[in-house]
Structure 1
Amino acid sequence: MAETNNIPLTFTVRRRAPELIAPSEPTPRELKPLSDIDDQEVLRCHVMVIFFYRGHPKMRHKNPASVIREALAKLLVFYYPFAGRLKEGPFGKLVVDCSGEGVLFIEGEADGTLDQFGDAFYPPLPCMEELLYDVPGSSGILDSPLLLIQVTRLLCGGFIFAIRFNHTATDGAGLAHFLFGLSVIARGGTSPPFPPVWQRELLCSSNRPPMIFTRHEYDQLEDTKGTLIALEDMVHKSVFFTTTHISTLRRLVPIHLQSCSTFELLTACLWRCRTIALQRDPEDEMPVIWTVNARKMFNPPLPKGYYGNTLAFPIAISTARDLCTKPLGYALELVMKTKYNVTKEHIRSIYDLTSTTGWPHYTSIRTYLVTDLTGVGFDALDFGWGKPAYGGPARGAVGIIPTLTTPYAPYTNSKGECGILISFSLPSGVMDKFIKEINNMLEQGKINDVLMEHKSPTLSKL
């Protein structure tokens, strides 16, 4: 596994004054309610994503900030709600006032190059405050811009594109739709490849009888043992799992669970290693929650251009004792069974719940939250300079409770090895134990492989 080198950068960024980019043509002035999925308290936060681009010979005379600024104004004609502001309606319901005020845009110029990052184009990123300036007054949920974008040019001809989005307005897949449309227009297109669709009423409760499910992800527990960890006590690291590492871990999986996905395997592995490192009371329940993109679960399907939140938060729960003492297959089976039980009825029950009980927050006591961004396409976003050296979360912990969240992102290292980059936040001493447990599990996989080679009969090649 490769961890971040954590080398501090010394370059600084000269920024132009922040400006509001409005749609390039008139757009409708209207109020657009969010869906009951969008309205969840857990999504009332801002999330940052960042992209690193190398210089391209054909683009050496073009300013990426100018290209993206112009494309953004054109794209907002189609995505005009993003140029509005969130307001609170009756009973706390959030609505977008499509005012056309615009999104915040910053152009910056750095006195450094991409080479100064070494191989560490991933969280935790040094100088993050330089790469995405938090404009005063811009980070509220209500009456603030829904998007903040900074394009920073580098001396090497490359640039850094960073964006912060209000999570109530869209999710990772919806943002990817928006950014893909932006890249198409930046490369000379006149419109996004498929029209954006608002239609948030599709994910709002109706007068039908509510779906009844047991929803442990919203259980509100008391932190009687002081298990919540303050953000200032956390350290942040990223771990890169190559396809070889993942194959090594798979050797620890029982035969009847070999159909598991890479996401299920890594989540079970990290849930177990994290629990061992934290050394909790053996009777403590240790939940793991992950985000599920439910777009494909609806029948009839949601429109292709739908860019609202379609997230569910399935939860698997085990005691610390069982996670620490039982083999990996135990945790893996819990994850697989929980994931299998997420259905369109499960999703529907979320917006029934939010519409009847308010907008609950998932449980945060001893919780480990995972978000899988490997399939949204951030790693393929091309504004004309080619694919990014890295495209994904700007921080190793995101969301309304940043100490909990672990994002998965696709990554290719400097050796050309492909895999999954996973960013963590844990107390310093715990982080060291956590990394050690992961390495122990990888070593165990190698040993098991040797044993399997010795035990397997020799097969004829004929």
Structure 2
Amino acid sequence: MASSSSSSSSLKFTVRRCQPQLVPPAIPTPHEVKPLSDIDDQDGLRVHLPMIHIYKKQASMAEKDPVQVIRQALSQTLVFYYPFAGRLREGPNRKLMVDCTGEGVMFIEADADVTFDQLGDSLQPPFPCFHELLYYVPATQQITNTPLLLVQVTRLKCGGFILAIGLNHTMCDGPGYQQFMSAWAEMARGATKPSIAPVWRRELLMARDPPRIKCNHREFEQVRDTLPSSNQNMVQRSFFFGPLDIAALRRLIPQHQHCTTFDLITACLWRCRTKALQIEADEDVRMMCIVNGRGRFNPPLPVGYYGNAFAYPAAVTTAGKLCRNPFGYAVELINKVKGEMTEEYLQSVADLMVMKGRCLFTTVRSYIVSHLARFNLRQVDFGWGEAVYGGVAQAGVGRFLGVSYFCSAKNGNGEEGIIFPICLPAEAMERFAQEFNHMLCNKSQPQTSSATFIMSTL
């Protein structure tokens, strides 16, 4: 059993880990090769997403060991989601496929000598101690020829536990992850099969023959960076939006302007981040909004489809226009770009991937947001009730740190809202916090902001 120490602010604790083991499906599963879709295997999704679910002690589960319950349920779930137990291989033209070998996923059992209450503020992203809660076994951060899921269950001294997951993003998106986790939780609670049967059908999002790009994809434009890029001196903070904060933003736009909560939050972050980075007024800036394509197809993609089925069309304007125009300008740009997402748009992305070598999205002066809050991953119940937190563990995707994920959360007062981590250079982060609080504390109601933040040095 390995042992290591971690600290969060003044809190220090030790995590003892057992040797990693492979958990295969509970019974033999088909051995076959299943190609990923041309949306799945684009360059920007060839990463491992760190996810985390945190549970309190439950008196009714006092006799149950969360490690055993979750490991056994995982083995049963892999019978239905057997591609997760396989390994990715790369074929000609960088085409990824799953070799369904049945080898299993990586699983780690661990114990931490700390209680739920002692962890305090570190129970929200960016989780300064996350490297202890999900140990990356050497070579498992590769994309091919390695387990597609890395799981660590850490028991806490108080009876609670933390489930941390490294997810190979090429296998599924937010809705797909929610579906898989819900099935896993159902099995833990005694089900014999998932209530929603998984559907592979990745051929539905393959490129056409011949491929043809029919939409304008500004998220994949090649842009020259005028400034040297660096990930030095970067910090992450997590901010919380409550109902009063949303109301404060709504007061900044005309009453007749149609928008969603997502539009408001995204526009707010885009403006604050652009100001914080002090981007030159004539430079283009991009906000790429992840939009689920499942309901945009006619007929819709089948219920149970768990592959990646989204695009991230880019709203583009200059930094000067974004920051000097009324707030409603940014909100309208976000609202409009979401409407670009159609069946043809997603098909055009698949075609573009084949024609342009599965290229990476534009990273220069770009920002990406994903609205995971609508899936409320806290509701994944393994028998210990709703999670205290369920969602991503930090900002960024792979080496690109300009991604924020909106997750549902409660603040210290028990107020429901949305929390998101963001990563910026330290000086820019201070400017972001000032801009952010300035937007929420408008003159109509100067004391209503419930925005809070947590900081972690990377």
The TM-score normalised by the length of structure 1 is 0.93
Partner of residue 105, structure 1: 107
Task: Give how far 1:317 is off.
Answer: 0.9
Evaluate the alpha carbon distance shift between residue 380 and residue 447 of structure 1 in structure 2; reply closer, same or farther with a 3 A threshold: closer
What residue identity is the alignment partner of 1:415?
Answer: N
Partner of residue 251, structure 1: 251
CA–CA distance in 1 between the matches of 2:213 and 2:270?
Answer: 30
1:406 aligned onto 2:407: no
Task: Give how far 1:8 is off.
Answer: 4.8
CA–CA distance in 1 between the matches of 2:364 and 2:8?
Answer: 29
Partner of residue 451, structure 2: none
Partner of residue 275, structure 1: 274
CA contact (8 A) 2:296 2:341 kept: no
Provide Cα deviations, 1:257-289, integer angstroms capped at 9, x if missing partner.
1x2000001111111111111111111111111
What residue identity is the alignment partner of 1:313?
Answer: Y
CA–CA distance in 1 between the matches of 2:40 and 2:196?
Answer: 22
CA–CA distance in 1 between the matches of 2:173 and 2:407?
Answer: 15
CA contact (8 A) 1:119 1:414 kept: no
CA contact (8 A) 2:105 2:150 kept: yes
SS at match of 2:412: coil
CA–CA distance in 2 between the matches of 1:134 and 1:90?
Answer: 29
Provide Cα deviations, 1:106-149, integer angstroms capped at 9, x if missing partner.
01011001111224421121221110001111110010100000
CA–CA distance in 1 between the matches of 2:447 and 2:236?
Answer: 32
Task: Give how far 1:256 is off.
Answer: 3.0
1:341 aligned onto 2:340: yes
Partner of residue 51, structure 2: 49
List gaps (5 residues or longer) in structure 1.
451-462
Partner of residue 393, structure 1: 392
Partner of residue 239, structure 1: 239
Task: Give how far 1:432 is off.
Answer: 0.8
Task: Give how far 1:253 is off.
Answer: 1.0
After TM superposition, the structure 1 = structure 2 runs for residues 80-99 of structure 1, keeping only pairs within 5 Å, are 80-99=82-101
SS at match of 2:317: strand
Task: Give how far 1:448 is off.
Answer: 9.5
Provide Cα deviations, 1:145-192, integer angstroms capped at 9, x if missing partner.
000000000111100001111111111211111110000000111111
Task: Give how far 1:298 is off.
Answer: 1.1
CA–CA distance in 1 between the matches of 2:428 and 2:356?
Answer: 37
Task: Give how far 1:233 is off.
Answer: 1.9
CA–CA distance in 2 between the matches of 1:32 and 1:86?
Answer: 9
What residue identity is the alignment partner of 2:407?
Answer: A
List gaps (5 residues or longer) in structure 2.
1-6, 449-458
Evaluate the alpha carbon distance shift between residue 8 and residue 101 of structure 1 in structure 2; reply closer, same or farther with a 3 A threshold: farther
SS at match of 1:398: coil
CA–CA distance in 1 between the matches of 2:14 and 2:346?
Answer: 45
CA contact (8 A) 2:197 2:304 kept: yes
1:26 aligned onto 2:28: yes
What residue identity is the alignment partner of 1:285?
Answer: D
Provide Cα deviations, 1:414-446, integer angstroms capped at 9, x if missing partner.
311011101110111111111111111112263
| Aligned partner of 2:81 among 79, 82, 93 | 79
CA–CA distance in 2 between the matches of 1:123 and 1:402?
Answer: 17
Partner of residue 264, structure 1: 263
Partner of residue 324, structure 1: 323
What residue identity is the alignment partner of 1:334?
Answer: L
CA contact (8 A) 2:33 2:99 kept: yes
CA–CA distance in 2 between the matches of 1:8 and 1:33?
Answer: 48
What residue identity is the alignment partner of 2:247?
Answer: S
Evaluate the alpha carbon distance shift between residue 365 and residue 309 of structure 1 in structure 2; reply closer, same or farther with a 3 A threshold: same
SS at match of 1:429: helix
Partner of residue 141, structure 1: 143
CA contact (8 A) 1:9 1:126 kept: no
Task: Give how far 1:211 is off.
Answer: 4.5
Evaluate the alpha carbon distance shift between residue 266 and residue 381 of structure 1 in structure 2; reply closer, same or farther with a 3 A threshold: same
After TM superposition, the structure 1 = structure 2 runs for residues 42-441 of structure 1, keeping only pairs within 5 Å, are 42-207=44-209, 210-226=212-228, 228-230=229-231, 232-257=232-257, 259-395=258-394, 397-441=395-439
Evaluate the alpha carbon distance shift between residue 81 and residue 393 of structure 1 in structure 2; reply closer, same or farther with a 3 A threshold: same
Q: CA RMSD in A?
A: 1.7
CA contact (8 A) 2:211 2:355 kept: no
What residue identity is the alignment partner of 1:246?
Answer: I
Task: Give how far 1:447 is off.
Answer: 5.5
CA contact (8 A) 2:211 2:354 kept: no
What residue identity is the alignment partner of 1:406?
Answer: S
CA–CA distance in 2 between the matches of 1:25 and 1:445?
Answer: 63
Task: Give how far 1:240 is off.
Answer: 0.5
CA–CA distance in 2 between the matches of 1:377 and 1:441?
Answer: 26
CA contact (8 A) 2:376 2:407 kept: no
CA contact (8 A) 1:251 1:449 kept: no
SS at match of 1:392: strand
SS at match of 2:256: helix
CA–CA distance in 1 between the matches of 2:399 and 2:325?
Answer: 29
What residue identity is the alignment partner of 1:440?
Answer: H
What residue identity is the alignment partner of 1:241?
Answer: F
The TM-score normalised by the length of structure 2 is 0.94
CA–CA distance in 2 between the matches of 1:69 and 1:384?
Answer: 13
Evaluate the alpha carbon distance shift between residue 10 and residue 144 of structure 1 in structure 2; reply closer, same or farther with a 3 A threshold: same
CA contact (8 A) 2:85 2:102 kept: yes
What residue identity is the alignment partner of 1:182?
Answer: W
SS at match of 1:329: helix
Provide Cα deviations, 1:277-335, integer angstroms capped at 9, x if missing partner.
11111111111112111111111111111110012011011111111211101111111
Between 141-150 and 114-123, report the one with greater CA deviation. 114-123
CA contact (8 A) 1:8 1:126 kept: no
